[in-house]
Structure 1
Amino acid sequence: MEIRLLTPADAQSYWTLRLEALKNHPEAFLSSYEESVRRENAVEQTAENFTTKANYTFGAYDQAQLVGVVTLLQEERKKIRHRANIFAMYVSPSKRGKGLGKALMTAAIQQAKAMKGIEKINLNVTATNQRAKQLYAKLGFQEFGLEKNALKVDDAYYDDLYMVLYLNEE
């Protein structure tokens, strides 16, 4: 298993895994599978995102196949530039339980620590996703809020749990 920063050359494999994530777990992502498959130039836009300043997407590879991803994005606006956010965390079901989620999150946290001025990392997770919540808590994230009915998928509502990791409290 290898964890590395993704580059524009990885955009197609990322997009394929992203669609898998949206299809398998519609409750875990703001984007829907249906909207995403209709996006024009999705791979090209993804490649461009991989070159955006303060936007880091890490991938977990198993024998040259992308099987997990996470994105760290620093806020741009002056008053909130001390914050970064974790987005789009996903590991393929067949590869879960092998430490890839922890390795991806650790890479993102280390990147944030290496960046000038980042003091905390925020993320949100579906409140019923016990495995993800446990992972984030083990890595030092603390709960700070709950948004009831944050997402509606078909006729089902899902709550979002908000978590934060303060980098200067270690």
Structure 2
Amino acid sequence: MEPDERPAAAEGGVAAYTIRSIRADEWPAAKELRLAALQDPVAHLAFLETYERAVEQPDSFWRERAAGAAEGVKDRQQVVAEAPDGRWAGSVVVLVEEAGSEGAFGGVNLVRQGHLVAVYVRPGERGRGLAERLFAYAVEWAREVAGVERVRLFVDERNGRAEAFYRRFGFVPTGESAPVPGDPGARELEFVLVGN
């Protein structure tokens, strides 16, 4: 899939950002962005990993992680928003879940679907349209390249900011939920994309 060349509606030079899949050799940038995401004030609501655990991982872990989600991989894709200076401003990962396989939080997947995870945009870049461009590219990749029938995600019920964005983009709650790993008193709510 080619980088997104469509102009963004937001102002402030967002159209100059390139939305694209990562390359395997870009693991240092993928590592830096992930560690930044894990230091976000709502990281405990958005990610199932901690900064303390991630920062201890060896470079081989980050190399393997990037290679497993790089361009050309058919079951997983990491999409980034790259600034004109080369700095990554945000990212989302698409996981392809096969029909009949075990779901992310248990159960069995009824259809081949894309599951959006690891959503992050740097604080200084938020509200400018980058998240919309990342999601549009990720959904297009999931449908056109991976051939999924459905696109979903989960959001912690306490993460209102993320939920509001997902709703604006066209995701709606399915009514399904699962306990948050490590915090059974909280729920992860399933949302599915309609339209688009």
TM-score, normalized by the shorter chain, greater than 0.5: yes
Is 125-134 or 31-40 further displaced after alignment? 125-134
8 Å contact from structure 1 (residues 15, 42) kept in 2: no
4+ residue segments displaced more than 6 Å: none
Structure 1: gaps of 5 or more residues:
none
Q: Pick from 50, 53, 64: which aligns with 1:32?
A: 50
Change (3 A) 1:67 1:35: same
Is 60-69 or 76-85 further displaced after alignment? 76-85
Residue aligned with 2:39, SS:
helix
Q: For residue 171 of structure 2, what is the amino acid of its counterpart?
A: F
Q: Residues 129-148 of structure 1: matches in 2 within 5 Å?
A: 129-145=159-175, 147=177
Counterpart for residue 165 of structure 1:
193
Which TM-score applies when normalising by structure 2? 0.74
Residue aligned with 1:58, SS:
strand
Q: Residues 1-170 of structure 1: matches in 2 within 5 Å?
A: 1-24=17-40, 25-40=43-58, 41-51=60-70, 52-62=73-83, 63-76=85-98, 80=109, 82-115=112-145, 117-145=147-175, 147=177, 150-152=180-182, 158-166=186-194
Cα shift at 1:34: 1.5
More strand by share: 1
8 Å contact from structure 1 (residues 15, 46) kept in 2: no
Residue aligned with 1:23, SS:
coil
Q: For residue 131 of structure 2, what is the amino acid of its counterpart?
A: G
Identity of aligned residues (%): 28
Residue aligned with 1:137, SS:
helix
Residue aligned with 2:38, SS:
helix
8 Å contact from structure 2 (residues 98, 112) kept in 1: no
Q: For residue 3 of structure 1, what is the amino acid of its counterpart?
A: I
Q: For residue 114 of structure 2, what is the amino acid of its counterpart?
A: A
More helix by share: 1
Q: Per-residue displacement from partner, 1:121-150 (whole Å, max 9, x unpaired)?
A: 110112232332222112221102364751
